Chain A
Amino acid sequence: MTRVYVPADSGALAVGAEEVAAAIGAEARERGANIEIIRNGSRGLYWLEPLVEVETARGRVGYGAIDPSKVAGLFNAGFLTGGGHGDCLGLVEELPYLKRQTRLAFARCGRTDPLSVEAYRAEGGMRGLARALQLGAKATIAEVSSSGLRGRGGAGFPTGVKWSTVAAANADRKYVVCNADEGDSGTYADRMLLEGDPFALIEGMAIAGFAVGASHGYVYIRSEYPHAFATFRNALDKARGAGWLGPDAFGPGKGFDLEARLGAGAYICGEETSLLESLEGKRGQVRPKPPLPALKGLFGKPTVINNLLSFASVPWILAQGAKAYAGFGTGRSRGTQPFQLAGDVKYGGLVELAFGVTIRQLIEDFGGGTRSGRPVRAVQVGGPLGAYFPQSLLDTPLDYEAMLAAKGMLGHGGVVVFNDAVDLARQARFAFEFCAKESCGKCTPCRIGSTRGVETLDKIIAGRNVADNIALTRDLCETLTDGSLCALGGLTPLPVLSALDFFPEDFATAPRLAAAE
């Protein structure tokens, strides 16, 4: 029996993985070949999807990108024993793109059947929880604290501090909530893990639940991820079957369980308090802080709310030790970050590396430049509220402090490459437009100011009173920064001001734009 891997990751499905799996199955039947097709997650090397892998004595040999028309040829070339073929990539784990990474949170993603309890265990799963149970709650939190782990959802708040606050709170009930709303364009690490290694999230949340004394948790998944939601619900069933969730999860009578909930297309529901309102069944409006969710969160109870990648980093930290984790990274950014390459990039994919790599290293050494072949002109880091960087700033390291110092933010680690066709005045307009569309409506600057911003940019783009309107735009940004309750209004100025500061030529007068049309 030969094992053949064809990803069921929705990105792979979006470029035909289902058809490839069906074609391989049919061809094998016809030829009487004895194979087992395993539907793994994605390795995150998306330009190679659908990436078919075959298990051989040498290791896993890859073929990509495959479409159904190539399947008969693969059989003819003897791919079931790793035979040569125009699309043969050799041993997948020797591919430089993978080999140069430090995969901790994504160690298993793409290697295993994401819904196989046995595979998860065989690949080192559940060791983190076992160690936590052995250490006890207090020492578990101490371990997370000394690992230096900071929230991967955007704000970079120390995870251990958050957990101790919840642990210390006195309440009859506490909650653990995973923020899997992943609204930032250019990010897909949460999705990949939900689809490719969901037990890692379940284990991470179980460790959190044990550490803070919570017996129930929710995973809030954006509705734009229907496939991830379905996979994760299956994973919850399997985890219950294995006893990892349920009435005796932490030992006899010590229960822990999780529920998956679907968002409903509101970007603001990625903001933690808005997410909690949404889970409670309300409009997703931001709550003022204090009270902190750690003290008064879901249904008024102390709540740990973390990004999916924060939780998914914890099993490794517990299993391998805080010291090993803190050994990666730079300054106050410890450990690894799964960066995500997107936009006009040749080799788009997930790149997990220690903090400190520069934007340029990522887009050149990994990304290989643009897919279109045009020169890179701007790179947006950190989603719709992140800054646009020009060529001259591409050597900025990707860590929390360096990004802040460069008037940007790391956010969730998304890196979107734009070629020279980009018009930064239009991108600035889009930033305001997005803010207007997604505002929860609580603050006037965010609700009204963003629409004013769109109008003002329209005037600039049309070449009307450009200097005055640029000044007005800057004023608006100041009002947004000062008068917003949350970072949607508060950080929309980042993309706008970076566009103005680094790409002033795009805000010039009408004739140039007219000429370019």
Chain B
Amino acid sequence: MTGKAPWDAGEARAMIAARSAEPGAMLPILHDLQQTFGYIDDAAVPLIAEALNLSKAETLGVISFYHDFRRAPVDGAVLKLCRAESCQAAGCEDLVAHLASHGVELDAQDGGPLRAESIYCLGHCALSPAALIDGRPVARLDERKIDAILAAAKSRPQ
């Protein structure tokens, strides 16, 4: 686990209650939950629905609309690699191939020490290719830097 707390319904309930009176509280609540637990647990759905006076289906509809929200915890490090035009122009697809040659497929469902996900623009386009590694920005990526990220992910305690 990446330094996230294990799912705790009581804690979740308190976090939801703290926000539920805000106008348009849904996204802030989802971000809070994901920030704390690393994902949105299924058991959170009825809690949110009840607090915001929505149906479970509506709540799920919102969660599934946005690319950010995870429905399951992630083990290992998360590399969000930009694959938008500026990074394409600077060779990000070569890095995708390089990751694949090390057994890391982008956007694969199954986990390993490094989970790599596609993302579209981090605003570091003057320093493409760019990525976030566990939320930390990295840019001017090349195979050497990717190798270092891989090695760090493999060597850290699970």
Q: Hey, which bits of chain A sit against chain B, CB under 8 A?
A: 10-11, 13-15, 44, 46-47, 49, 182-188, 190-192, 223-228, 261-267, 278-285, 299, 340-345, 348-350, 371, 380, 383-384, 414, 416-419, 422, 427, 430, 434, 438
Q: Note all chain A residues with C-beta closer than 8 A to B123.
A: 10-11, 182, 187-188, 190-192, 224-225, 228
Q: Is the CB of A185 within 8 A of B120?
A: yes
Binary interface encoding of chain B residues 128-155 relative to chain A, with 1 for a CB under 8 A from any of its CBs, else 0: 1010100111111000000000000000
Whether B121 sits at the interface, judged by CB under 8 Å, is yes
Report how many A-B pairs have Cβ atoms within 8 Å. Answer: 157
Q: Is the CB of A343 within 8 A of B62?
A: no
B18 to chain A, nearest CB (A): 15
Whether B67 sits at the interface, judged by CB under 8 Å, is yes
Q: Note all chain B residues with C-beta closer than 8 A to A49.
A: 127
Q: Note all chain B residues with C-beta closer than 8 A to A186.
A: 84-86, 121, 125
Q: Note all chain B residues with C-beta closer than 8 A to A280.
A: 23-24
Q: Is the CB of A349 within 8 A of B85?
A: no
- Given the known A-B contacts A11-B139, A226-B135, A342-B125, are A185 and B65 also in contact in the complex, defined by CB atoms under 8 Å? no
Q: Note all chain A residues with C-beta closer than 8 A to B86.
A: 185-186, 342-343, 414, 416
Task: A281 to B28: give the CA distance in the assembly, Å.
Answer: 9
In which size bucket is the chain B interface? Answer: 35 or more
Shortest Cβ distance from B29 into A: residue: A281
B106 to chain A, nearest CB (A): 13
> Which listed segment binds A: B4-12, B71-79, B87-95, B96-104?
B87-95
Task: A283 to B67: give the CA distance in the assembly, Å.
Answer: 11
Whether B30 sits at the interface, judged by CB under 8 Å, is yes
B22 to chain A, nearest CB (A): 9
Task: A49 to B124: give the CA distance in the assembly, Å.
Answer: 12
Q: Note all chain A residues with C-beta closer than 8 A to B66.
A: 264-266, 284
Shortest Cβ distance from B125 into A: residue: A342
Q: Note all chain A residues with C-beta closer than 8 A to B80.
A: 224
Q: Note all chain B residues with C-beta closer than 8 A to A44.
A: 126
Q: Note all chain B residues with C-beta closer than 8 A to A384.
A: 84-85
Q: Is the CB of B28 within 8 A of A14?
A: no
- Given the known A-B contacts A261-B27, A281-B27, A343-B90, are A14 and B126 also in contact in the complex, defined by CB atoms under 8 Å? no
Q: Is the CB of A264 within 8 A of B31?
A: yes
- Given the known A-B contacts A11-B127, A342-B126, are A185 and B62 also in contact in the complex, defined by CB atoms under 8 Å? no
19 inter-chain pairs at a CB distance below 8 angstroms, sorted by A residue, are A11-B124, A13-B136, A14-B127, A15-B139, A15-B140, A183-B121, A186-B121, A188-B124, A190-B123, A264-B67, A279-B24, A281-B27, A281-B62, A282-B62, A285-B65, A342-B125, A345-B126, A371-B90, A416-B89
Task: A413 to B82: give the CA distance in the assembly, Å.
Answer: 19
Task: Please name 5 further chain A to chain B contacts, defined as beta carbons within 8 Å, in addition to the given A261-B24, A266-B66, sorted by A numbering.
Answer: A10-B123, A184-B121, A185-B85, A283-B65, A430-B85
Q: Is the CB of A434 within 8 A of B120?
A: yes
Shortest Cβ distance from B87 into A: residue: A185
Q: Is the CB of A46 within 8 A of B126?
A: yes
Q: Is the CB of B137 within 8 A of A265?
A: no
Binary interface encoding of chain B residues 55-75 relative to chain A, with 1 for a CB under 8 A from any of its CBs, else 0: 000000110011111000000
A496 to chain B, nearest CB (A): 13
Q: Note all chain A residues with C-beta closer than 8 A to B128.
A: 342-343, 348
Q: Is the CB of A266 within 8 A of B67?
A: yes
**A-B interface, 7 closest residue pairs, ranked by CB to CB distance from nearest:** A281-B26, A348-B126, A185-B84, A343-B89, A342-B125, A264-B66, A265-B67
Whether B122 sits at the interface, judged by CB under 8 Å, is yes
**Interface core residue of B31, B62, B88, B130 (most chain A CB under 10 Å):** B88
Q: Which of B61, B67, B125 makes the CB contact (< 8 A) with A188?
A: B125
A341 to chain B, nearest CB (A): 6
Q: Note all chain B residues with C-beta closer than 8 A to A226.
A: 132, 135
B89 to chain A, nearest CB (A): 3
A366 to chain B, nearest CB (A): 11
